[in-house]
Structure 1
């Protein structure tokens, strides 16, 4: 029986994979939180991998505190780059499959059309730079890896934009949300399904793929959809990013083109609103 190791097991994507895992009893699933897989201690990580001996790794673990990363560069790069390099080396040496999760933040946001996998990367914050370094290391150390870039992830699990909006819209009469950052959300349950579909496919084509839900929206429009589906009475206003400064810059435009993963793996990707409704059920 093949053994799947899921890092970042308590995160949004790891939790959605755990929910799905019972539908795939042909695999032995190992869900590793920080106690089982230590991405910031490389000696420990090496011995943990050798103990677990996975045939497949879904690397969902990451340093994702975008603003904190500006002051914690070393930690961000250890987890998002050097640990990924080690995992890739392990999988290559042991002929194990690796699906590594990356981000739209590898782009600078200067595009105005959906970004495909071959577009030039140019991260504008430490988090994005650390994730891009991880992509490069992953494919260098294990050219058989699959890297999936995703964006604006949310889920019933963990902390995310949708849950924050749900809370604020019930607590406040009015809120403001930035209206000049464009992309598309990703329902983590959809991405989890997509990852398993890739694994279960008869073909394994290494390289970088994009995955997010369909649709092109701003965070403000996303908030309006949350208000509509949730039936909240809160007034939602749109503001420019300049009115809401953050330590880390965000890409203004990071809409991902999903043609490659849809074509190669025959994935049917839902519209963002369709998936958002599922979270409310």
Structure 2
């Protein structure tokens, strides 16, 4: 049997928070990669991507490109669809044509949030807004057109990059003495650096088995190990930031109800994801988000 070529990962959405964490991890782990941002090429531009995959000998694609403006998606459905549905469709077709795995990142928003126990991969989907609908359509396009794919649903992503809850809270802590944060929505904060490590670990295992065990393709959940409310997450951020001297005083965080903070898109009330299947199949443990917070603030 011929030796598989060296792994060469193509990362789309390279300028997003996950894309930047992937770039950091790939450099640290010294893995050959090509980063593609929206400025370099549109993920719907199959001609450019086809040439890139062929010329560079790409062995797998990690799609971190996404339209993530949940509220804006309600008024920009066309743009959300282009990035979240048409893009994954184009990549799925390339994955099939070149017979290489596609690792795609999806979201807890594909669920309606009415469960009271952690969501598993086999649970029925039912997105309530445009963002979730376009992300689900992207998942469906991949499962129809690609055979070697991993769809990784994650949630409540935070990191040192981009715009996210963690960075917003740190900014507000310096500006205000008291804040109101929603306390009746529950989920699992997930550090983007951990998502990056998980994706790379999966890609490496798929590469070394050269797609051996087909049963390990499919949908997986990857999120933080511990569920909290947004209010609980804010408290954890302030506690750590204060302990490490990043903020001089901890603001008072008042618990508010979702109804007190109306948004154009409805948020899932409960979107806790169980990461058990991924741990079982790939040995990748759930994100220790409290440790990640500590590391980021340090």
Q: TM-score, normalised on structure 1?
A: 0.95
Look up the SS of the partner of 1:22 in the other structure.
helix
Give the Cα–Cα distance (whole angstroms) in 2 for the partners of residues 106 and 267 of structure 1.
22
Query: Does the 8 Å contact 1:7/1:37 carry over to 2?
Result: no
Query: Does the 8 Å contact 1:36/1:48 carry over to 2?
Result: no
Alignment of 1:51-62 (within 5 A): 51-53=51-53, 54-62=58-66
Query: Does the 8 Å contact 1:174/1:234 carry over to 2?
Result: yes
Q: In the alignment, is residue 103 of structure 1 matched against residue 107 of structure 2?
A: yes
Q: In the alignment, is residue 13 of structure 1 matched against residue 18 of structure 2?
A: yes
Other-structure match for 1:248: 265
Query: Does the 8 Å contact 2:278/2:285 carry over to 1?
Result: no
Other-structure match for 1:135: 139
Other-structure match for 2:246: none
Give the Cα–Cα distance (whole angstroms) in 2 for the partners of residues 60 and 23 of structure 1.
19
Give the Cα–Cα distance (whole angstroms) in 1 for the partners of residues 289 and 25 of structure 2.
20
Look up the SS of the partner of 2:8 in the other structure.
strand
Q: In the alignment, is residue 228 of structure 1 matched against residue 232 of structure 2?
A: no
- 1:167-220 deviations in Å (ceiling 9; x for gaps): 001110111110011010110001111111111225552100000110010000
Once the 2 structures are TM-superposed, how far is the Cα of residue 249 of structure 1 from its aligned partner?
0.4
Look up the SS of the partner of 1:85 in the other structure.
helix
Once the 2 structures are TM-superposed, how far is the Cα of residue 270 of structure 1 from its aligned partner?
4.0
Other-structure match for 2:200: 196
Look up the SS of the partner of 2:62 in the other structure.
strand
Alignment of 1:4-153 (within 5 A): 4-25=9-30, 27-39=31-43, 42=44, 45-53=45-53, 54-153=58-157
Q: TM-score, normalised on structure 2?
A: 0.90
Once the 2 structures are TM-superposed, how far is the Cα of residue 271 of structure 1 from its aligned partner?
2.9
Gaps of 5+ in 2: 1-5, 243-248
Give the Cα–Cα distance (whole angstroms) in 2 for the partners of residues 130 and 216 of structure 1.
25
Cα RMSD (Å): 1.2
Give the Cα–Cα distance (whole angstroms) in 1 for the partners of residues 180 and 17 of structure 2.
25
Once the 2 structures are TM-superposed, how far is the Cα of residue 235 of structure 1 from its aligned partner?
0.9
Look up the SS of the partner of 1:148 in the other structure.
strand
Other-structure match for 2:281: 264
Cα distance change on mapping 1:127 and 1:164 into 2, 3 Å? same
Once the 2 structures are TM-superposed, how far is the Cα of residue 154 of structure 1 from its aligned partner?
0.6
Give the Cα–Cα distance (whole angstroms) in 1 for the partners of residues 286 and 264 of structure 2.
33
Gaps of 5+ in 1: none
Give the Cα–Cα distance (whole angstroms) in 2 for the partners of residues 251 and 86 of structure 1.
29
